[in-house]
Structures are given as C-alpha cells and as structure tokens.
Structure 1
Amino acid sequence: MDAATTLYTSERIAAVRASTAAAGIDALVITPGAELRYLTGYDAHASERLTALVVPAEGPATLIVPRLERPLAASSPLPGTGVGIVDFGDGVNPYALLASFLDEHVGSGRRVIGAAERMWASHWHGIEAAVPSASLAMAATVLSPLRMVKSAAEVAELTRAAEAIDRVHTRMGEWLRPGRTEREVAADIKAAIVEEGHTAVSFAIVAAGPNGASPHHGVSDAVIESGQPVVVDIGGVVDTGYGSDCTRTYCVGQTPADFNDYYGALRAAHQAGVDAVRPGVTASSVDAATRAVLTDAGYGEFFTHRTGHGIGLDGHEAPYIVDGDDTVLAPGMAFSIEPGVYIPGRHGARIEDIVVCTETGVTRLDTLPTEVTIL
C-alpha cells in the first residue's frame, strides 16, 4: 500500500464533515494550500482561477476546478477520498457554480462558510458577491485540531523527512570551511537536501559569527572565518509534502570562550524541552521548561523566540510551543524543540529537533548528537 492510500482517505473527509457540523459551520470552502492537500492529497496551484473544495456539513464533498487543471486533480490521490470533481471553462463564473452547489447541499438561507486559512482575498470577495447571505468563519477551527494529531502514516512521512535532513547535517564537513561564503555553503546544502531524499528545499540558513545572533538571518556573502560558530538551520519536503526542520551549530576551528560559556546551558535547555513532552501537559509548559534552564544560567534575555512550532504539511503549524498556547499535548502531535542563544555582535547558537508526543512520552525524529561539531 503506497503512502497516498494511507494518508488521504474517505475516513478523513468523514471526520472533517462531522467536525464541521459540530462547529456550527454549514460548509468548508478550501482553496489551494496545505489544508486542501491534507484533505485530498491534491497539491493544487493557487491562481486567479478558483480551485475550491466544498465540504458541506451534510452532503458530498466536491472539488470545483478549472477545466484545464482537471487532469491534475484526477491524477492526484483525490479520487480515492471519494471527493467528486466539477470543472468549469474560462469565461464561466466559478463563484456562481459554488453558490449553486451550496444552494443544493446546504440550503439558500443564511450560511456559515469556513474559509481556508490562506484563501486569496479576491476569491473570498467573489464568494461574498455570489453568496451574499454567507458569513465567514475560519476553516482552521475545524481543521487545526485534526491536523495537529498526526496519524501513524503522517509520522512515518515526518520520520522519512527527518532522516533525510539528518543525512545532510552529517555531510556538513564537505562544505563548511574558512574562506567560503555563507551563500556558497548554502548552495551546496540545498543540492544535498534534494540528493538525500527531499523533492524540494524549504530553506537553508547559514549564519556565521555575528550573523548567528540573528535567528532568521538566511544567507549573505559574508566569508566564514576560522574560529567562528556557524548556525545551520535547514529543511525540505518529501514527495508527500511532509517537511523536515533541523538546526545544528558548528564551529570552524576552536570555539570562542564566550560561546563555550553558554553552549552547555543551551544543550541542557534543549534536553529539558524534550524531556518535558508527554501527553496531558500544555504546549506552554514545554516552553517554560526549556526557557527556565537558560534563564537560570543567566541567558534568558538572549533566547528571543518561542521554543517550537508544529510541523506537517506546513513548516509552521499548530501547536506552537510558546507561552500562552495552552494546547494540551496528545499522542501524535509533532513539533520542534529549538532553543537558541543569540549574543548581539558576537555569535549565536541553536539546537533544533522535531519530536513527536507519544502515549508514554516523546520520540525525537532527528537523532543527531547535540554537541557542537568542530570542523
């Protein structure tokens, strides 16, 4: 049985339909993005032409799709989910088609439509004009709780992605050395991300020396110097759309003394975060456990972002491991643990793994050692 068969099922559509009804929403309207792929396996192209999956609380789920893209939808896993396809040609008003479908399967009164989280505003305005009685809700109200808890098949895909990105990190010595620029190293890393099993690169941060103090630095033409710590945060997606995200910190030559002062505390904070994960605790409590270690060591002010984020078909999705997110962790939730220390003008470090909450605790999908690697 291939991955698509186990990932995209009629049972998933049925669960979403039941959750839609329970939320008091009459229908979901899902345009291209991770939500559409989660429901159907169809990785649709977003454009000015409307592509929209309509999932009524009661009634058949149907994909409205431009006629020229129907073959793409039909060749995706979508037909195996039981979702029907209705196409339209150029010159036809797709919003009127959607309104007609809602009239048939929801009724013609006031309707609550759960819109895709990242629906283009132009499409929502088109729906509003065609369905003036509609009121807007967020489809994420229904979909986010379901997407947070990964099935065994989804965990398998995240594991495959994590193993592939770990293999890239083990090759860092091939590229990271003094005299090369961050951009040159990143280009080699991006090629390796695909070589090691991803179908696309999501990002490749290579941040040397002072640039390591900027958590989302990216890359530059800065030349890597001997004795500089280098933060390398990389990720990609495998063919089913599930992603990887792993950060390690390297040093070309001897590590600076002030770097050594905080790196041990960073490793302890990362381990504390991993150890705090188990069913029944809140996302915010994991953040607190991680942050407390760095605060107690005197580096709390230099940990400037949340401890982590969920991952799946989106690189960042719920739950968020941050103060204020009181999501109760449950088996199947997958997210990063990624504390960092960033010393302005000097350097920085981050350790990031993807973990999965299990029935008994936690599993790390990224299994590399967390010591700084000297190259």
Structure 2
Amino acid sequence: MALHFSPDEYEGRKASVLAKMADRKLDALLLFSQETMYWLTGYDTTGFNLFQCLVLRKGGQTDLLTRSADVLQAKLTSNIDNVHIWSDRIKKKASPAMQLRGLLDDLDMLGSKIGIEYDAHGLTAKDGRTLDESLRSFADTEDASRIIPPLRAIKSGAEIAFVRKAGELTDLAYKETLPLIAAGADESKILATLQGVILENGGDYPANDFVVSSGEEALLCRYNTGRRLLDAQDQLTLEWSGVYRHFHAPASRTIIIGRPQPRHRELYKIAMRALQAMESAMTPGHMIGEIFDTHAHVVDDMGANKLRLNACGYSVGASFAPSWMDWPLIYRGNENLVSPNMTLFAQVNLMDSNENVAMSLGQTYLTTDGAPEPLSELPLDLATR
C-alpha cells in the first residue's frame, strides 16, 4: 500500500471531518474532489475525469464507487474500506448517479441527511444534476463543499515537509534553467529543463502546465501552446512549481534578455514593494482579503492600478489537474483568516499591454505565529540575461 502519511495522520484527518459532520448532523458525505480523496485516504488517481464518489459515513466507514479501471488503484494507494464498481450503461436509470443511490440504499442510508461536495472538478454539472434527481426522494441533501477545504488549508508537520521538498525542487529547476536563457534560446528547451529537473529529482507532474512565454506573450499568465526562439532584446515570464507527493510550491519571474526597458524597472519596483507589503499582512489574525488590500494599495499608489489583476495569490497544497490553485484565493473582501501552517503563493502580475511590458514576481510562503517564511531561497531581484 503506497500511503505517504502515517495511519495516525489519516485517522486524525478523518476525525476532524467527522466532527464537522456531527456539527451539521450529517449522516454521510458524498465526496467528489480528488484532492479530498487523496488527503482523507491516500487515494491517488487521474480517474476523476469520470464519475467516482467516496462515501464517508458518520461512523467513519469509507466506500468508493468507481470504474473497474480504478479498483486496483484504490486498493494499492489508499486505506478505503470498500471499493465498488459502477458499470457503463446506456439507460438513464442505470446512470452512475443511480448506481450510487443503489449503493447508498445497500448502506441503509434511505431517509438520511447527506452532505454533497458539489464544488469539485470530479463532479460535472451534468452529473450533479443527475445526482440531485437520483437522491430527491431518497435523502435530505445539502451542499457540504466547504467542510474539508479549511481543514486541508492548515498543513500538518508531515505535509509541510513535503511542501518544503517541493520548494527545493522549485529552486533547483530555476537554477538549472537560468543558464539556458539567452538570445536564440528555444522556449522548448527551457520548458523541458524546468519540468525535467523536477521529475529527475523525484518530483511529480504539476496540476497545471507551466507558463513559459516570451515576447508579447510574456504578458500572459496562463499556458498557451506554441514555441519561439528568444530575441536579443526580449522578456520571458515563467510560472512553475516543484511538486512532491502532489504538493506544490509555485514561483514566478519575468526575466529580461538584453537591456531592461525603463518600464521594466518601474514595474519591477512596484512588484517588489507590493510583494513585501503582502508579507506584512500574511500573519495570523489578518483576513485573507487584507493581503490583497496591501498589494492593491501599493500598486495603486504607484500608478499601476490599471495593470493589476483582481487576485494576487492563493493557497497551495496537494492538488490535481486542472489547477494547483487551492482554497482560499487571495482577493478583496475574503474574510477567511490567515492561520499558522498555511502555504500561500503570493504573486504580483503587472502587464502593460500598451507598452508590451510584463512583470511577474511571486513565491510560496509558510505562515507561522509571526512573519511568514519564504519556501524559496531564490533571489527576488530583477533577473536579466
């Protein structure tokens, strides 16, 4: 069994969920997030693109309904008590949601109160609607999407060790890639090195694609296909992450090839001050939204309000495709509180499309009882090649 945490750690996680269920008088949870399943049981798969559900009953028993391809996956990677197979069938009455209802009936859940994890990449809108129809006369259901994310956001000592390892891989990948960045360099080689170094050193695939974009596309903050060679005077934006046991520690930089334009230096100065300001609010007692406010205050006061985005980071942890972004997101008005042992990616993106100038600066932090600890040792200066 390929479990990456101790039995006591998994039992503690389950106990924290069961306590939340008891507070809401829930008899069971229907869980669809792959991140939840991995955190709660160790279950490690990419099969969540098709219907699967982990049933957690108030007594602590776990039952997984999945396809036949994932039966062995569940048995070898998790501590799930029982694994059940749903079969592909054409008839609507034999949908996986109806087969889930049948499983719940077998578990004597008729008339019970069930919480459903709707906010999950593993539950499509179509399947969610079918699920609601299937359970309408069977049980009393409610949205329970926010039970587990706050628990996952606070990392244990063992989880922090994995995030630290991810941070080491983040740094190593950058250090080995930086010498390749020069006029005439191929973005393909840069991307292959960033990703390859992480894999060669025991890391995992990331939950989303790395950003490796130059020229006018350096202003983009999402991956897009297509590669080019760097010009003698160019800009390159990187957003990448070391990944270890699915735990992420992202970072971002805009690197200047040749001589930085005055606008590059201006935006770098703003980004650096904003990132430092965010650190001051990344302490217990502050609301997550206050981290955004400090960022926005600096950027706006320095005249770049039209260039910033409406969020400046998010929690990170053990994530699966399509994104390493986790709960909570750092945006204005978010009233969730900063607590010790959160791992937060703070990022300043300033993209001046009028002058075609990009600037991205970000790193992952571990919150403590006081000032946050950067999980990267990379310099934050304006990188030039």
TM-score w.r.t. length of structure 2 = 0.86
The counterpart of 1:334, out of the listed 320, 337, 343, is 343
Residues 38-117 of structure 1 mapped to structure 2, 5 A cutoff: 38-46=39-47, 50-58=51-59, 60-76=61-77, 78-79=78-79, 83-88=80-85, 90=87, 95=97, 98-103=100-105, 107-109=109-111, 111-117=113-119
> Would the alpha carbon gap of residues 87 and 291 (structure 1) be closer, same or farther in structure 2, given more than 3 Å must change?
same
Distance 1:209 1:367 in 2: 27
- CA gap of 1:7–1:207, structure 2 versus 1, over 3 A, is farther
In 2, the alpha carbon distance for the partners of 1:47 and 1:262 equals 41
Query: What is the deviation of 1:342?
Result: 1.1
Structure 2 residue aligned with 1:359: 369
Partner of 2:292 in structure 1?
287
Identity %: 20
Give me the whole-angstrom Cα distance separating, in 2, the residues matched to 1:30 and 1:358.
30
Secondary structure of 1:87's partner? strand
1:206 and 2:206 are equivalent in the alignment: no
Q: 1:174 aligns with which of 176, 179, 189?
A: 179
Q: Which moved more, 1:145-154 or 1:195-204?
A: 195-204
After superposition, the C-alpha distances for 1:2-30 in whole angstroms (9 at most, x for unaligned) are: 84226951221121122122134332112
Deviates more, 1:152-161 or 1:183-192: 183-192
Deviation string, structure 1 residues 50-91 (Cα, Å, up to 9, x no partner): 532101234522223445532221111x22xxx411333747
1:68 to 1:368, Cα distance in 2 relative to 1, 3 A:
closer
Q: How many residues align?
A: 370
Which runs of structure 2 are paired with 1:116-265 in the superposition (5 Å)?
116-118=118-120, 119-125=123-129, 127-133=131-137, 134-201=139-206, 202-216=208-222, 218=224, 220-238=226-244, 240-265=245-270
| 2:274 corresponds to 1:277 | no
Aligned AA for 2:111?
G
Q: Describe the shift of the 1:272–1:128 C-alpha distance in structure 2 as closer, same or farther (beyond 3 A).
A: closer
**Superposed displacement of residue 285, structure 1:** 0.7
Q: Secondary structure in 1 aligned to 2:6?
A: helix
Out of 298, 318, 321, the position equivalent to 2:327 is: 318
Cα 1:265/1:84, change in 2 over 3 Å: same
Q: 1:226 to 1:124 in 2, by over 3 A?
A: same
- Distance in 2 between the 1:151 and 1:37 partners? 15
Instruction: Indicate if the aligned counterparts of 1:65 and 1:85 stay in contact, CA closer than 8 A.
Output: no
Is 206-215 or 328-337 further displaced after alignment?
Answer: 206-215
8 Å CA contact 2:263–2:357 kept in 1: the answer is no
**Range with greater deviation from structure 2 (292-301 or 349-358):** 292-301
RMSD: 2.7
Describe the shift of the 1:192–1:19 C-alpha distance in structure 2 as closer, same or farther (beyond 3 A): same
Other-structure match for 2:383: 373
Is the Cα contact below 8 Å between 1:95 and 1:126 reproduced in 2? yes
Q: Provide, for residues 191-212 of structure 1, a one-character-per-residue CA deviation record: whole Å limited to 9, x for no partner.
A: 2232243221432212223322
- The SS at the match of 1:146 is helix
- Contact 2:249-2:375 at 8 Å conserved across structures: no
Task: Provide, for residues 340-370 of structure 1, a one-character-per-residue CA deviation record: whole Å limited to 9, x for no partner.
Answer: 2211142211111111211223111122110
Q: Per the alignment, do residues 337 and 88 of structure 1 end up closer, same or farther by CA in structure 2, a change over 3 Å counting?
A: closer
**Structure-2 change in CA distance of 1:175 and 1:21 (3 Å):** same
SS at match of 1:246: strand
Q: Is the 8 A contact 1:158 1:312 kept in 2?
A: yes
Query: SS at the partner of 1:374?
Result: coil
My pick for the range that moved more, 144-153 or 218-227, is 218-227
Question: What do the CA deviations read for 1:313-348 (whole angstroms, capped 9, x no partner)?
Answer: 231111211102111111122111101221114221
**Is the 2:292–2:330 Cα contact (8 Å) retained in structure 1?**
yes
**1:7-46 correspondence to structure 2 within 5 Å:** 9-31=10-32, 33-46=34-47
TM-aligned CA distance change 1:362 to 1:123, over 3 Å = same
Q: Kindly provide the CA deviation profile for residues 260-308 of structure 1, in whole angstroms up to 9, marking residues without a partner as x.
A: 1221221111111122211010111111112212222112221124111
Instruction: Work out whether residues 161 and 197 of structure 1, in 8 Å CA contact, stay in contact via their aligned partners in 2.
Output: no
For normalisation by structure 1, the TM-score amounts to 0.88
In 1, the alpha carbon distance for the partners of 2:293 and 2:347 equals: 13
- Higher mean C-alpha deviation, range 160-169 or range 204-213: 204-213
Q: 1:125 to 1:300 in 2, by over 3 A?
A: closer
User: Is the CA contact (8 Å cut-off) linking 2:277 and 2:298 kept in structure 1?
Assistant: yes
Deviates more, 1:227-236 or 1:325-334: 227-236
Q: Aligned partners of 1:278 and 1:241: how far apart in 2?
A: 26
Q: Which amino acid aligns with 1:132?
A: R
The Cα offsets for residues 78-109 of structure 1, whole Å up to 9 and x where unpaired, read as 22xxx411333747966566435534656422
Read off the aligned partner of 2:40 and give its amino acid letter.
Answer: L
